[in-house]
Structure 1
């Protein structure tokens, strides 16, 4: 993604990064999962059969606002 502008303060040139998930049994990065959150019998989110995408994050260097995007599969 190029030439992005902050939707909060209209500053150009967002800084790329990622959202880390360091919770128990995590894969190290956050994912977007389609549909409403449903919990399994052990309290974790049900993910089987659902579409998922990795999240790209961009930070505004002026106000700190984060812009998050679910990536497309290649």
Structure 2
């Protein structure tokens, strides 16, 4: 993998934390536009959730984000 900003090759793995109420501790990507439910929360029912993996470029600190299916 290479950084899309500086073309660096040293990318440090990590993740994006979600500290919100009832969270599992990590952020997820959900396909499709954001739709709000009756009480203002995001509608997620029947949508596939993907875990976000983040890689930080050691050279310029740019974040590269990739998704993978939930384990």
Kindly indicate whether residue 41 of structure 2 is the aligned counterpart of residue 41 of structure 1.
no
For structure 2, the residue ranges without an aligned partner over 5 or more in a row are none
Pick the aligned partner of 2:15 from 15, 18, 23: 18
Kindly indicate whether residue 54 of structure 2 is the aligned counterpart of residue 57 of structure 1.
yes
Q: How far, CA to CA, are the matches of 2:39 and 2:69 in structure 1?
A: 30
Q: How far, CA to CA, are the matches of 1:26 and 1:73 in structure 2?
A: 14
Instruction: Flag the 1:73–1:23 CA change in 2: closer, same or farther, 3 A.
Output: closer
Find runs of 4+ consecutive structure 1 residues off by over 3 angstroms: none
For structure 1, the residue ranges without an aligned partner over 5 or more in a row are none
Q: Which has the higher contact order (CA 8 A, sep 6+)?
A: 2
Instruction: Count residues in correspondence.
Output: 71
